[in-house]
Structure 1
Amino acid sequence: MSEPHNAQVHPETGSADILIVGGGLSGALLAGQLLRLPGRRRVVVLESRSELGRGEAYSAVELGHTLNGNAARMSVDPDNADDLTQWLTRYLADGGWPEAHEQGVPISELFPPRGLFGLYAQQWLAQAEALGAREGSTVRHVRGEVVDLEIDADGTLLTLADGRQLRGAYGVLATGMFPAARTPQTESSGLNAAALDPWDVQAMARLDPQARVLIIGSGLTMVDAVVSLEQAGHRGPIEVFSRHGLLPHVRRQPPVWEDFLARDPGIRSPRQLLRELRRQCRAAIAQGIDWQAPLDTVRAHIGRLWSQASDRQRRQFVRHVRPWWESHHHRSPPLSAELVARLHEQGRLRIHAASFQGLEPGAGGRLAIRIRRRGESHTTQVPGDALINSSGIEYDWRRVARALPRQLLARGLIQPGPLALGIAADPGGAVLDAQGQVSSRLFAMGPPLRGLWWESTAVTDVALQAKHLAARLAALPL
């Protein structure tokens, strides 16, 4: 339940056994797992949004903004891979999402709208809340932004932006992802003030339909932005700028391929992985099988391979392989990919391999950006009528312009993770402080653990982490 907006501000607003900072998918799944375990515990989730389980990713309301994985890949229950498929089957039978038939595939292969997936996550949490009530466990949603966190002998103390405080035995950082668009660099450049939200169809509908739209970044957020523009009635040119000019590949449904990494544990380094993966993809193509089949088998081994790699190997991977990994691994839903491909073939959408250098005033009151094209040393000004920032996620907490990351770093309660990706923690999610000591009170899960696992954002990754962390927390003394 949520506190009313006009609740009186108190110096301290209660206590809990476990305080979860962030009520998007990560926080909701952890709360759900805790409620499903035997025993009685009080869980408080701190989230500024009015609903738990959605966050930014699953608050989208347009049907065209879909998951980039089909239902069979997106279960929030690690023990039941068909959970979302089963939920969708019931939902469709009750008359929900009548547009599903337009995809022309079985339910397990549907790509649900983001907003619908958010409803699924909420109902999963509600079921867990009902189960927990039988044991006397509770979950409470406190609305507000956490701006500070302290640890003492008695546990953790959270401070909200309005001055309220909550005390808990343990704290969990389930903060989700911080958009790169909100780093201090882009704040100071004025980019945020000038850019449209990639998912705000209503704002895009107010543009001239023939407006020239500039998009920074060419990943999945860009794909969503193009869908938004199409739904808003935009028919003008779209110019996309990204450092390597790579587009996400389309998500297909390849047949099962042998798990070659399980068969050969000697493959350990990124170079060995890439060499063998290319060989496997060539073998698949020679047999008339989609190259995505061998690639999909790698998913289960990413955490192990990343943790085994040296810092030097990780840096080489991030510098030289990451853009291609992202475009091949984080693929676009079919209908969205078809739209991008069609606009590209028509010449309305153009992709430029160029890096963003800054925002500038353009002629005649128009905006303009300055870019450096790949392979060139000089910069070029590009005018436009509207701008969308789709530059991805900022994983370096030292660059995040938010109060809580800054306070945690200033207090020495956290340290950057490997390669400054997220924050450092042990394999079970216990946070490492500035001296490298494992905290007995503060934990993390999901995107903050990017540096620990590399892939720590997908639904299945987060769901499994939630299950394991809940079991660890449940075993601790209260």
Structure 2
Amino acid sequence: MSQSADILVIGGGLSGTMLAVQLLRLPGRRKILVIEPRVELGRGEAYSAVELGHTLNGNAARMSVDPDNPDDLTQWLTEHIAAGGWPESAEQNVPVSELFPPRGLFGVYVQQRLAEACNVGAQQGSTVEHIRAEVADLQTFADSVQLILSDGQHLTGVFAVLATGMFPAARTPQKQSSGLNTAALDPWDVTAMRQLDPQSTVLIIGSGLTMVDAVVSLEQAGHRGPIEVFSRHGLLPHARRQPPAWVDFLAEDHSIRSPRQLLRELRRHCRDAIAQGIDWQAPLDTVRAHIGRVWSQATDMQRRQFVRHVRPWWESHHHRSPPLSAQLVERLREEGRLRIQAASFKALEPCAEGGVSIRIRRRGEAETCVVHGAALINSSGIEYDWRRVARPLPQQLLARGLVRPGPLALGIAATIDGAVLDEHGQAANRLFAMGPPLRGMWWESTAVTDVALQAKALALRLGAEQG
């Protein structure tokens, strides 16, 4: 079987869906095929969550999918709540703009914006179709791109876009596997967690936002036993607050051109804020809009130093936890049920008595030790290195030199406008990328606002190429 289209979008999560929305809004007639194995578009890994406790880690005012209207989600939520949707929102007791919606509800919002864009596109003959399959391989030609799907179907397009989204470590097969995922529970699988003894000990690898989600899942499953969390630095995400506005110091000072200079200046502004009785998160919140510029101007050595020495603290301060989830984690720590330990996971160990055993090395200690629990959860975050992802498309693209790893092996390399670079550094004419695969290019390339801006820019580029 074979189909053809103007644009092939590989991935139908937030990135692919937002690109389709922007393409449908453009003048002109075009056929768009979105290839996504999930039943629904617009959800992907992040927004397929079904539990109300799994919320966005940003409030509504920060999470608009429309780059031209920062209040878009706030407006949608206002109408949705007024119509009787999400009655639990009243429990947060804050204005709509400060609500932290469930991720599943955010998926509904994205889908509605797609439906509206489909209506706009239909007026000028543009269409989008969901092909439910996985892309196994891709070939580029002078005038087209051909996809080979897992079901044997072939799709041909004038352009193709890699909008593959994130590869969560807990759900991604690894090329060199430690066996961790085979032994571990899915962090978001509340049903599986209900099968545990409520008083049993649960082990968690990683202490970032995925760990916070896992703790929420355990709580909703009725788990009441000890939770032992192990991560290399033992850092927890800070709770997200709503600080007052702060001067956009990076917009005023273009001499800041490296991550080190940025951190030095950011610390100074945070100290100034604290001295004035203002939340230190206020200066930090001004930084996101400039991260891509500073990161792209840095040398590889400066980037490497940042990742090696600063990344854990950057992640814990910048990628903050939604308030209700942070309150739960703090309560469990105060009760003594949840303990965070700075330790590295080394290996799974044989376990004859049931449950699971892992070998760890605590920070500052030379010797390793074995820890036992009834269950294990892998909350080690996102796998950005495509060389480690044991999925057909990344492996095929790398093997045939159609893509190359991005800076510091984070995602893949591309030009500033998203054209993919091959193994020789040549920019593709018909293959593009957006969102999380460009992590190495921009450092922050996963947030809703990042994806929305990239989707608009890439849609305009593709629309202009179509002529």
Normalised by the size of structure 1, how large is the TM-score?
A: 0.96
Rounded to whole Å, the distance in 2 between the matches of 1:23 and 1:418 is: 25
Cα deviation digits, residues 429-456 of structure 1 (max 9, x gap): 0000111101001000000000100000
The CA distance in 2 between the partners of 1:189 and 1:425, in whole Å, is 31
Q: Which residue of 2 aligns with 1:148?
A: 137
Per-residue CA distance 1:389-412 (angstroms, 9 max, x = gap)? 111111111111100001001111
Q: Which residue of 1 aligns with 2:52?
A: 63
Structure 1 CA distance for aligned equivalents of residues 459 and 167 of structure 2: 24
Q: What is the 5 A alignment of 1:459-470?
A: 459-470=448-459
SS in 2 for 1:169: strand
Question: What do the CA deviations read for 1:166-192 (whole angstroms, capped 9, x no partner)?
Answer: 000000000001122456658733221
Farther off after superposition, 149-158 or 244-253 = 149-158
Quick one: distance in 1 between partners of 2:234 and 2:75?
38
Which moved further from structure 2: 187-196 or 49-58? 187-196
Aligned pair partner of 1:207 in 196, 199, 212: 196
1:43 aligns with 2:51: no
Which AA in structure 2 matches 1:80?
A: N
**Counterpart residue number, 1:390:** 379
Q: Number of aligned residue pairs: give it.
A: 467
Amino acid at match of 1:358: A
How far the C-alpha of 1:269 sits from its partner, in A, is 1.8
Q: How does 1:170-185 map to 2 (within 5 A)?
A: 170-181=159-170
Paired with 1:341 and 1:55, the residues of 2 have a C-alpha distance of: 29
Check if 1:458 corresponds to 2:447. yes
Q: CA offsets per residue over residues 230-265 of structure 1, 9 Å max, x none?
A: 011000000001110000000000000001111111
Return the match for 2:428 from 423, 434, 439: 439
Q: Distance in 2 between matches of 1:167 and 1:376?
A: 56
- Give 1:86's match in structure 2, choosing from 52, 71, 75: 75
1:362-393 CA-partner distances (Å, limit 9, x unpaired): 24123101111112222111000001111111
Q: Distance in 2 between matches of 1:62 and 1:395?
A: 26
Q: Which amino acid aligns with 1:24?
A: G
Q: How does 1:323-334 map to 2 (within 5 A)?
A: 323-334=312-323
Is the 2:174–2:390 contact (alpha carbons within 8 Å) kept by the matching residues of 1?
A: no
Residue 74 and residue 183 in structure 1: after superposition, are their counterparts in 2 closer, same or farther (change >3 A)? Answer: closer
CA distance in 1, matches of 2:419, 2:404: 12
From 403, 412, 422, the equivalent of 2:401 is 412
How many angstroms apart in 2 are the aligned matches of 1:310 and 1:184? Answer: 32
Task: Determine which of 298, 307, 312 is the counterpart of 2:287.
Answer: 298
Match of 2:223 in 1: 234
CA distance in structure 1 between the partners assigned to 2:173 and 2:359 by the alignment: 18
The answer on whether the counterparts of 2:175 and 2:389 sit within 8 Å (CA) in structure 1 is: no
1:268 aligns with 2:293: no
Cα distance change, pair 389–457 in 1 and its aligned pair in 2 (3 A): same
Where 2:266 maps in the other structure, the secondary structure is helix
Please report the TM-score for the alignment, with normalisation by the length of structure 2. Answer: 0.99
- CA shift for structure 1 position 153: 1.9
**1:287 equivalenced with 2:276 (yes/no):** yes
* Whole-angstrom distance in 1 between the partners of 2:110 and 2:177: 36
**Structure 2 Cα separation of the partners of residues 67 and 182 of structure 1:** 19
Contact 1:432 1:439 in 2 (8 A): yes
The residue number in structure 2 matching 1:112 is: 101
Q: What residue is the counterpart of 1:190 in the other structure?
A: 179
Distance across 2 between alignment mates of 1:184 and 1:192: 8
3-state DSSP class of the match of 2:128? Answer: strand
The answer to whether residue 449 in structure 2 is matched with residue 449 in structure 1 is: no
Consecutive unaligned residues in structure 1, runs of 5 or more: 1-9
Among candidates 339, 345, 348, match of residue 359 of structure 1: 348
Q: Which amino acid aligns with 2:417?
A: G
The one-letter code sitting in structure 1 at the alignment partner of 2:271 is: R
Matched, 1:255 2:244: yes
The aligned residue for residue 164 of structure 1 is: 153
Deviation by residue 1:98-130 (Cα, 9 ceiling, x = unmatched): 000000100000000000000000000110000
DSSP 3-state at the match of 1:375:
coil
Q: Which moved more, 1:194-203 or 1:442-451?
A: 194-203
Amino acid at match of 1:57: A
Query: In the alignment, what sits opposite 1:28?
Result: 17
Supply the RMSD in Å over aligned alpha carbons. 1.1
Deviations 1:262-293 (A, max 9, x none): 11111112221111111111110111100000
Partner SS for 1:423:
coil
Structure 2: segments with no counterpart, 5+ residues = none
Q: Aligned partners of 1:153, 1:107: CA distance in 2, in Å?
A: 50
SS in 1 for 2:137: strand
Q: Deviations over 1:174-228 (max 9, x none)?
A: 0001122456658733221211111111111111001100001100010010000
What is the alpha-carbon distance in structure 1 between the residues aligned to residue 30 and residue 355 of structure 2? 56
* Pair 1:343 & 2:332 matched: yes
Verify the 8 A CA contact 1:371 1:382 in the aligned structure 2: yes
CA contact (8 A) 1:35 1:132 kept: yes
Match of 1:7 in 2: none
Distance, in Å, in 2 between the alignment partners of 1:145 and 1:339 is 37
- Given that 1:183 and 1:399 are in contact with CA atoms closer than 8 Å, whether structure 2 keeps it comes out as no
Contact 1:303 1:453 in 2 (8 A): yes
1:96 maps onto 2:101 in alignment: no
